[in-house]
Amino acid sequence: MTSIDEKYMRRCLELAAMGRNHVSPNPMVGAVVVHDGMIIGEGYHYKYGGPHAEVNAIKAVTNKELLTQATVYVSLEPCSHFGKTPPCANLLASFPVKRVVVGATDSNAKVAGKGIDILRKAGIEVTVGVLEEQCRDLNRSFFTMHEKRRPYIILKWAQSLDGFLDIYRPKDAPREPHWITNKLSRRLVHKWRAEEPSIMIGTNTALKDNPRLDVRDWDGNNPIRIVLDRIGRLPSDLHFFDQSTHTVVFTECERPNKHNLTYVKVNEDINVLDKSLSYLFEQGISSLLVEGGNELLNSFIKRDLWDESRVFVGNTLFFEGVKAPIIHAYPAMEEWLEDTRLLVYKRNV
C-alpha cells in the first residue's frame, strides 16, 4: 500500500458516497481506473438494481486498450455472483486489467473473497485493505447486516440539561411532543430519517407524542415506521395508522393488514425486540433509527444492541421527570447546533 493507492481510494470513497439513499440494501461503492498516473475512468453504484461501480468506471474509459496496463481502484471487493447484474470480478478479469486495489473485502457470503480469487486466477495483481477502516465505515449498515445478521442500530434521543427525556405528564395530557431541542436540531433529525430505511418507537412514545416520523422538513423518502404495541393499546386515530407511509406493528393481537399497514403477530413467549430485528433482517432492511422513550432505549442498551447513539442536550432544565438513558462511553463526536449540543457515541469507540 502506498500514498498513491490511498489517494485514489479516497476518490473511490467520494464517488461511493454519491449513491447514498439510492442503493440500499446494496452497499455504496466507488471505482477509479488509473493509467500512467492519470484517471481515465471513474464511476459509482448510483441506483439499486443498476450497474455497479466497476461497470460504470470501465464504461467511462474511452480507449479500452489501455485497460490491460491500468489499475482499477474499488472501495469494496468486486462481486463474484450473478444477481441483478453480472459479476464485476469477471468483467475485470476479461480484459484483464493489470492491477486491482480493493478497500475492503465483502462480508456477503455470496462474495467473501471469491471476487479476489477470480482476479488473482486471471493473473491480476490484487492489493487488499487500502483505507479499509474508512471503506467499512461508509457501509457500516451493510457490514452489520452480513456479519451480525441484524440491522445497524442507531439510538437517538433528546434530553434536558439535567438529564431528563420528558416531564411527568398526566394521562389526559394532549398527545404532542414536549420539545427540548431547537428547530435546527429537529431538521437534522429529519435528514437522518431520510438516510435510514426504518424507524422505531414504543407504545408510550406513540401515545404521548403521536409522532408522524416522516421527513417533512427534509427532501427524501419516509422510513418504514415500526411500533411495538404488544397488547394492542394504541388507538386507531394516531398518525401512525394514517396509512400515509409503510408502517409495521408488532403485536400479540390479531389484526388484518391494510394498505401500508402490516401487523406482525408476536407470541407471548417471544421477545418482541428479537422478533422485530429478525423481521427487519429478513426484509433486507439494513439499518434502524430508534426514537423511543426510556423503556425502549434502555432495552437496547442493556442488551448491548446498538451501534451508534445520537444524543441531543437541550438548553432547558426539567428538575424532575422521565430519566434519560445513560451510555457508558466517551462521545466519538461533539458539536453545537446553536444552543443545543449533539453527542455521538459509537459502541466500538
- pTM tops 0.85: yes
- The confidence score (pLDDT) of residue 188 equals 96
Catalytic residue among 6, 42, 54, 334: 54
Q: Would you say the C-alpha torsion 89, 93, 95, 101 has a positive or negative sign?
A: positive
Cell of 24: 440500499
Find out whether 198 and 277 touch, Cβ atoms under 8 Å: no
pLDDT band at 179 (very low <50, low <70, confident <90, very high): confident
- The confidence score (pLDDT) of residue 36 equals 96
**CA 150 – CA 141 distance, rounded (Å):** 9
Give the residue-averaged pLDDT of 16-32.
92
- The confidence score (pLDDT) of residue 244 equals 95
Those residues whose C-beta lies under 8 Å from the C-beta of residue 36, and which sit 6 or more positions away, are 69
Question: Which tens digits make up the pLDDT trace of 77-93?
Answer: 999 876 666 789 999 99
54 noted as active-site residue: yes
Give the residue-averaged pLDDT of 197-213.
93
Mean pLDDT rounded to a whole number for the chain: 92
Instruction: Output DSSP code: residue 66.
Output: G
Buried b (16+ CB within 10 A) or exposed e, 161-193: eeebbbeeeeeeeeeeebebbeeebbebbbebb
Give the residue-averaged pLDDT of 187-206.
94
- The confidence score (pLDDT) of residue 186 equals 93
Neighbours of 237 (CB within 10 A): 10
- The confidence score (pLDDT) of residue 83 equals 66
Residue 39 has pLDDT above 90, yes or no: yes
Give the residue-averaged pLDDT of 132-160.
95
pLDDT band at 292 (very low <50, low <70, confident <90, very high): confident
Residue 115 has pLDDT above 80, yes or no: yes
**CA 274 – CA 253 distance, rounded (Å):** 18
CA distances in angstroms from 336 to 260, 314, 325, 332, listed in the order given: 37, 10, 21, 14
Cell of 272: 418482541
Question: Cis omega before residue 25 (within 30°)?
Answer: yes
pLDDT band at 171 (very low <50, low <70, confident <90, very high): confident
Residue 1 has pLDDT above 70, yes or no: no
Please give the backbone phi and psi of residue 104, each rounded to the nearest 5 degrees, phi first. Answer: -140, 145
Q: Would you say the C-alpha torsion 7, 144, 290, 158 has a positive or negative sign?
A: negative
